[in-house]
Chain A
Amino acid sequence: MKPASSVLALALPVILLVGCGSQDDQSNPASPSASPLGLLAPPVEVALDEDGRPVAESLAESQILHRGNAEEPQTLDPHLAEGVPSSILLRDLFEGLATSQPDGRIVPGAAAHWDISRDGLVYTFYLRPDSRWSNGEPLTAADFVWSWQRVVDPQTGASYGRMLAPVKNAEAIFAGELGVEMLGVEALSDSSFQVTLESPTPYFLGLLTHPTTFPVYRPAIEQFGASHVRPGQLVSNGAYVLADWQVRSHIELARNPHYRAADQVIIERVFYYPFEDENTEFNRFRAGDLQWTYRVPSNQFGWLKNNMAESLMVAPWFGTYFFSFNLQRPPFQDNLALRQALNLAVNRDILTNSVTRFGEIPTYNLIPPGLPDYNPFVPEYAEWTQAEREAEARRLYAQAGYSEDNPLTVELRYNSSENHRRIAIAMSAMWKQVLGVRTRLINEEFRVFLQNRTQGRVTEVFRAGWIGDYQDAFTFLELFHSEHGRNDAGYANPSYDRLLEQISAERIPALRRNLLREAERMLLADQVVLPTYIYVSKRLVDPRLQGWAENVMDQHLTRHMYLLKSRTPGEPESPEADSAERGGS
């Protein structure tokens, strides 16, 4: 390294000279408050007033937040957006009829309150009288009517349009059989918005925090078309407005003075940075450029645990990492025993403790825990010891007609990623060890993988995984309806389909809960999937950033957050601490 740095020493002055001549004197968006080695100054103890808000004295002077985001959002049009990076931004920019508390609880948002008819089919939302768009214009029920009609209009191409499927006639409008004006929404007055559902949908309020249900500003869309989302043209109704957007550099949001609760928003400005690489984001956090990361490098767990424990935040998430069997082709077609054998032979504890290592929760069922009104169905063998499971696996393997002399050869397919690769290797080793299965690992670039999964012509057992779209077990179970577009396993069980239809029509919560459990039981009994673990959300957070809480949907609105003063304000980070840390690394 020595010779290279001598060249470097030569190069530096030259670059500085050349660099000074460059044109644009743009202010620096990231303002590095460089604290060497990511050593963050500890915050003061937070004092809260009677409303649970922090008192002004404990707040940092500058309330500018820098958040890492996974990638450049595909779009900031709430109806066209998909993917987590866009939805994080959209929840800051817009507000639906309902919104969520830091802990994930669903509370009134743009609507002050609502009535639900006794049959659970008609929801009447009463908008707040002071609700305004970011340009000061009033937000009315007509805005919601127009917005929701836009979502279901096939011309819009809303990627998450299915979110509104529970609304009356939505499916027929998607299919082009009815006009958008037939959608079951109505503005009873400027401030009351009525929604009629096809069937009672207990999770309907949960959908209202999803960007697809957010209102959009009609005049801007009509005037600017697709570019209505540019800074200066985007009109939104959330706590923040779009101030600047430099593609793949940063997106800057500023406090919206017309927001209904603007006086409670503490963070003045938020910068979102897209990171294509997790190590890059990690370095920026360590350099003090970020207070919040989207993820952490998956292979750095040990180091993080030892060195940045106060910043490392890990919490269960509403998603499951599982594998699917292709039920339309040999060897898994009509071979339940074989599927069961492979399922039982996988030691989940090894996967989570030695491979993923971030506290993921081993699972034998599909639906993550933590739902307000659902207890996942846990199969019997989840309680067995691993030795018992393996013995049963061997018995089933033999029953399926395989043995040491006649081993199964199987293809395990996953999309290229370091984490998926390690899990696939570990699983194939377990199958080999317990059953003698020969596994061929196949990794494919994402879209190739997706196409192969969808077509089901070459897949045998393949990686899947699902993060729930709304807080209900149905978001997982519906994937296996014989006609669902993501039913890549090709599961076609009429009793299962019937069960899903019953769930959609069931009005009594307790009965519905039982039906959901029965559906999950059936799915596991048929061993359509091989669940491995429940995802965790993991990120680095500056300890000075408060006001947020872990929640299972992993939604963290900037408007709840605030930055505390460092414990020693104005003083540079203590030099002893620096050098100690440096020596240690």
Chain B
Amino acid sequence: MSDTVTDIPAITARGAGLVACTRCTRVWPAETARCGRCGKALVSRDTHSLSRVWAWWVAGVLCYIPANLYPMLRTQVLFTVSEDTIVQGAIELASHGAVFVALIILIASVAIPLGKFAAIAWLATSVRRGSHASPHARHRLYEIVEYIGRWSMIDVFVVAILTALVQLNLAASIKPGPAALAFALSVIFTMLSAQAFDPRLIWDRADDDSHDRAARA
């Protein structure tokens, strides 16, 4: 299969006067309100989609700030207590030689969340204003964002595991910091933001653009 397929104007449910269920792929006449098979409310294009995307996006970004400023872990060894933020924790690991694990943490907790914020913002603006990037490239990006978002939870799980495990009286104990909650919320809000996005909008815009080109020619 090659990308030349894009040039064939696809027959869409909307173009054929129908409406599709995005959950079970069943097709119904345009005025149907609810999927008769799986019960999902049917909308040809989710017009509120972008406002929900932005609402969750803002919530995600707002939670991400305290998640990086406050400590994630409070480690007490004998009588010394140290508090680490996400980035400090990764630097600490790298300084002990565990560079690979430090990289996993940095990728999952810093690179992926920041990349997701940027990707969702770009996708949401591009369906409004159009983009030079092909719908294939943007759809691919959307799939990656959807797939990879969950993996940011890893740092929250590490904190949970360490808190449960490292309770050795005075010898060593670990407690979670306030950043753990902020970070978990940030990941959840960003997942909801990506889920709220209606990927059909990417392809609609591509259809409209090619119609414009055809009209001009």
- Chain A partners chain B: no
